[in-house]
Chains A and B, each alone.
Chain A
Amino acid sequence: MMGFHGKVLEVNLKNSSVREIEIKEELIRKFVGGCGLGAALLYNKISSNIPPLSSESPIAFLTGMFTGLTPFSGRHAVVGRSPLTNLWGESTSGGFFGVAIKKSGIDGIIITGKAEKPVYLYIANGEVEFRNAKELWGKNTSETIEIINKETDKKARVACIGPAGENLVKYACIVNDTHRAAGRTGLGALMGSKNLKAIAVLGEIGLPDVADEKSLKEYYGELLEKVASNPARELWHTYGTLMYTTQGYELGDTPSKYFTEGVFPAFKISGETMLEKYEVKSEGCANCPVICGHRVRGVKMEYESVSSLGSLCGVYDLDVILDAANYCNEAGLDVISSGVTVAFAMYLTEKGVLKDGIKFGDGKALLETLRNIVKREGLGNILAEGTRSAAKTFGVDLEEAANVKGLEIPMHDPRAFSMMALTYVTSSRGACHLHSDYFTVDIAAAPVPELGVLPTNRFDESEDKIKMQVIHQSAKEVWNSYILCMLGLISINDAAKFHSAIIGESITPTDIAKIGERTYMLKRMINIRLGMRREDEKLPQIVRRPLKKGGTKGYSPNVEKMLDIYYKIRGIDEKGHPTKEKLEELDLKDFSL
């Protein structure tokens, strides 16, 4: 099969067994790889009767169609049932781990069962070894990776959990290649629940064949040239994602003090200040011509981490934010959910709900609370369950909990762009800022003219705009199936060319959007089977209350109205279910609801 080895390993930790699952070409044709393929493979293995942290609950590590074959493809996907949302969970991560899987002669690994004692898997060129992880349990992520590299092979690539995953913190992440993370939806807790500390992969077999190697090479070279001449490349390389802080601030996109304030000293936590204050080292993923990653004092810093652990908590001291981000990376905590939950506690203190609670701007309290979350001590134990659950425990109105479907809202305020509000409520994993990252269309960073998706007024809620969001959301779905970097330096036209060369058939941007529509709907069907209803597709009041000052200009998205239109366009009935006709059109009849 072109672009894939055609096999995924199914590992059962309960009885240390391994079996090979053949991946049929038809499945790749329909779902491409990565998260899409994951949804298809796990469709019948995930159900409402299987709690996310139970032994039977599966977790899969998958590569995409492009992994290792195109620029920006050094990524892998992790999928399963999220312990944070109880719905479909997925997250992708950069680095080298994905390419190592692909080069080891397999396309992915599905893991079920629970090991009796802590273990890690060592997969060398497709052969699985179960290794004792007793000495690793309790260790932070970089130490774990270092030890495993010593025990196995220094060329092995490692993905692991830290103490947060071991202690089943509901938003624990999976860290690979030190400080790259599959951050969202708490899949680190799934690993912890299986006593699985890490997976180390040595890939020396090589990448799978492609149909048209000559064209692939040609497109590869063309894209490298295009990127090299793009002035944005230099900016990305210099500042990384942190350069967005000051840009987002102007439009009210960068939030502060638990989404309650629109005016704050953004420059103090900007990429510019970071560069001025510290020595910054660049670090990239496999096959990347940009290298946008930044290490400051050895800590991987991103816009999302600086904003969630900084401005959202009212903290503007970069030293403190670096310490907090470092702690999250080492303990294996998702920075976004961590920042939002801590900020929630600070907000409740301000509101008088938590007596003697932690206060906005208190960096020491931020760090201490993060430690307590990981150790599950005191307030930390409540916050370790996520914002929605914490609100219930505190007896607070759920409208105050900044989440959608249980997933904490990321650092793009839905009052800054109408379509981000719609994206948050309709995304299959809850409040997701990547599927679709529509703000990038409205600031003209990454419109998709090939599909008629163009910038318009950022507060527009019209049917025409929602049509564009639906197309964009579908197209971006496929980014997690190819598993491409979300930076806008690879266009849908480029993706279509690579796809065509790999499989040897002509694929157009419209075909890509159709595959994305199918994938989106399949994940929605999984969620419906897991109990999701229309009522869950809503934005809490905390991010709808108009802000008096700042770049959101008092806008409050009318999500209910937009959702009605969205359902109609997507072929979804009033209950949130896909219509029969839509399922037929998308060739999803084999997947029963």
Chain B
Amino acid sequence: MKIKILLSALQFRNVIAYENRCFYIDLDDQSTIKDAVLAIENKIGGKIEHYLTRGDVKLILNDRVIDYKEEMLKNLKDEDVLIFITPLSGG
């Protein structure tokens, strides 16, 4: 299945340039959110999971923020979209 990825979080700028933040990954059926994160780390050659477990970066799965620690083993489906953002308030 194909998953759309948007690595927008500010913390990721040193592992991926802004203009390269959007791409697709191919995963086996039944793959989980955690599988997607590991596949991304492989692709970009940098570690990002610790930002999610600490909560500094939030993961939006199809328009809903998920709690990574609680939902990382949830299965994804074809055409799911994962957006990684820095959660900010104010402004």
Question: Bound complex: CA of A241 vs CA of B6, how far in Å?
Answer: 21
A246 to B91, alpha carbons, bound, how many Å? 13
From B23-31, B33-41, B58-66, B69-77, the one touching the partner chain is B58-66
Q: Is the CB of B89 within 8 A of A446?
A: yes
Residues of B within 8 A of A247 (CB): 8-10, 85-86, 88
**Inter-subunit contact A457/B63 (CB<8 Å):** yes
Q: Is B54 an interface residue (CB 8 A)?
A: yes
Are B54 and A267 interface neighbours, CB within 8 A? no
Q: Is A250 an interface residue (CB 8 A)?
A: yes
Let me know if B45 is at the binding interface, CB within 8 A. no
Nearest opposing residue in chain B for A240, CB measure: B91
Tell me if B91 and A272 are in contact (CB < 8 A). no
Query: Distance in Å from the Cβ of A417 to the closest Cβ of chain B?
Result: 10
Binary per-residue interface labels of chain A (245-289) against chain B in the complex, 1 for a CB within 8 Å, 0 otherwise: 011011100000000000000010011100000000000000000
Rounded to whole Å, the gap between the CB of B75 and the closest CB of chain A is 18
Complex interface: chain A residues within 8 A of B88 (CB): 232, 235-236, 241, 243-244, 247, 440, 443, 445
Indicate if A458 sits at the interface (CB-CB under 8 A): yes
CB-CB contacts of B48-63 with A at 8 A, as 1s and 0s? 0000001110101001
Interface magnitude class on chain A: 35 or more
CA distance A41 to B25 in the complex (A): 60
Residue of A nearest to B6 (CB): A250
- The reply to whether the CB of B87 lies closer than 8 angstroms to some CB of chain A is yes
- A318-363 interface with B by 8 A CB criterion: none
The verdict on A96 contacting chain B, using a C-beta distance below 8 Å, is: no
User: By CB atoms of chain B within 10 A, which of A239, A244, A458 has the most?
Assistant: A244
**Which listed residue, B6, B10, B90, touches A486 by the CB 8 Å rule?**
B90
Name the interface residues of A16-51: CB closer than 8 Å to any CB of B: none
In Å, the complex CA distance between A303 and B87 comes to: 15
Q: A232-B56, A458-B64, A459-B63 are in contact. Are A440 and B89 (CB under 8 A)?
A: yes
A355 to B79, CA, bound (A): 45
Q: A532-553 toward B: CB 8 Å interface, digit per residue (1/0)?
A: 0000000000000000000001
- Number of A-B residue pairs, CB cutoff 8 Å, is 85
Which residues of B pack against A, CB within 8 Å?
A: 6, 8-10, 13, 18-19, 54-56, 58, 60, 63-65, 83, 85-91
Bound state CA distance, A488 and B58, in angstroms? 15
Taken together as a complex, chains A and B put the C-alpha atoms of A239 and B10 apart, in Å, by: 10
Q: State whether A488 and B10 are in contact (beta carbons under 8 Å apart), knowing that A267-B18, A455-B65 are contacts in the complex.
A: no
A166: B residues at CB distance < 8 A = none
Nearest 4 CB-CB pairs, A to B? Answer: A241-B91, A488-B89, A445-B87, A440-B89
B18 with A231: CB separation less than 8 A: no
A487, B19: Cβ atoms under 8 Å? no
| Residues of chain B contacted by A446 (CB below 8 angstroms) | 89
Which of A231, A236, A241, A304 is B54 in contact with, Cβ under 8 Å?
A231
Q: Given known contacts A235-B88, A246-B8, A457-B64, what 17 new A-B pairs fall within 8 Å (CB)?
A: A232-B56, A236-B88, A239-B10, A241-B91, A246-B18, A247-B10, A251-B85, A271-B10, A292-B90, A442-B65, A443-B87, A445-B88, A446-B89, A455-B65, A486-B89, A487-B90, A488-B90
For the complex, give the distance between the alpha carbons of A242 and B86 in Å.
12
Min Cβ gap A384→B in Å is 26
